[in-house]
Each structure stands twice: as C-alpha cells, then as structure tokens.
Amino acid sequence: MTRPSLSAPFEVDLDRMLLDERHSFNPLYRPDIDIQVVAARDGYAQLSVVLPVEMARYFANLLQSTAGLFRSAGHKAKIKQASSKPVDPVELEQQAKYRQDFSNQVCILFDGFIEEGLTRNEAISRTNSTLKEQKHPWASYDLVHQTLRENLRFRKGRKTVK
C-alpha cells in the first residue's frame, strides 16, 4: 500500500523560501532592513519598518497570515469555551418557557390587529411597536416576523394560540 502524497496544493519549495535570506525579515542578517521603535505620547510606541521594495509583498503576506492565524485561534477558543460550559436543565427549561411566552404574546397581539382589519404588514409593525412600548428585550421586526412565520400566521387556515 502506498502512502498518499502530502505535498502542498501549490508548487513552493518551503525550505528554500524560509531559508533564503532574500525572504528573511531578521535585521541581524539583513542590513537593508531598518526597524526603529520610538517612544510616543501616553505610553505608546511608534514602530517603523523600512524594507526593500521586493520584500514588501512578503512582509504584507506575513502580517496577513499571522492575523488570520490569531483570528482562527481566537474563534476556536471561543467555540471550545462555549462547548465546555455545563448545561443546566433547569436553565434550558426556563429559556424554552421564555421563548414560548414571547411566541404566544406575539401571536395574540398579531391576531388582535388582524381582527381589527389591519393588513398583515401593518399588524406586524403594530405588534413590534407594542412590544417596544412594553420594553420587551426581543422586540424587533425581524424576530416578530420570524415568530409569526414559525407559528403559521402567514398561511390560510392559521393556527391559533391556545
């Protein structure tokens, strides 16, 4: 059985690229690279990097890759932290109750406005306005619209809240 090739999807000699001093950003080996750090006001420092023109693209790629690496690591850390939190069944039940109460309230308000003869869009807007007047934390047009759609309020033969 042969092992599959682990070559990169692009043709680059990484050893040559990493060890080639033309691509090195170490100012100890490259006298044409000038890095200066100057004290600025309020505890800040000003960093100045002077590179040969042919190295500018490599330097920008290095910074972009580093930023992407740390953004990815931060994202994975957030996922790990969120998935490691213990799940409290009482809290989950309470959250489900809050969602159901909100859904019931939205449907009751909407149905009342429809019975008054308002159009669907007017009823959605008035439902959202009423929730905002009550300072409900979930009062948003999109969430009201989504809740009504989930409760089949936009179809003929609507389901009613019991």
45 band by pLDDT with thresholds 50, 70 and 90: very high
pLDDT tens profile 118-156: 999 999 999 999 999 999 998 999 999 999 999 988 776
Element (H, E) at 152: none
Give the count of beta carbons closer than 10 Å to the beta carbon of residue 146.
Answer: 12
pLDDT digits (tens, 9 = 90+) for 20-31: 666 566 676 777
Beta strands in 56-159 (DSSP E): none
Distance between CA 152 and CA 155 in Å, rounded?
Answer: 6
- Region 86-106: mean pLDDT is 90
Mean of pLDDT values over 56-81: 89
> Which of these, 91, 131, 94, lies nearest to 110 by C-alpha position?
131
pTM above the 0.75 mark?
Answer: no
What is the torsional sign of CA 60, 61, 62, 65? positive
Please write the tens of the pLDDT for every residue from 108-121.
999 999 999 999 99
Task: Delimit the domains of the chain by residue range.
Answer: 14-83, 89-150
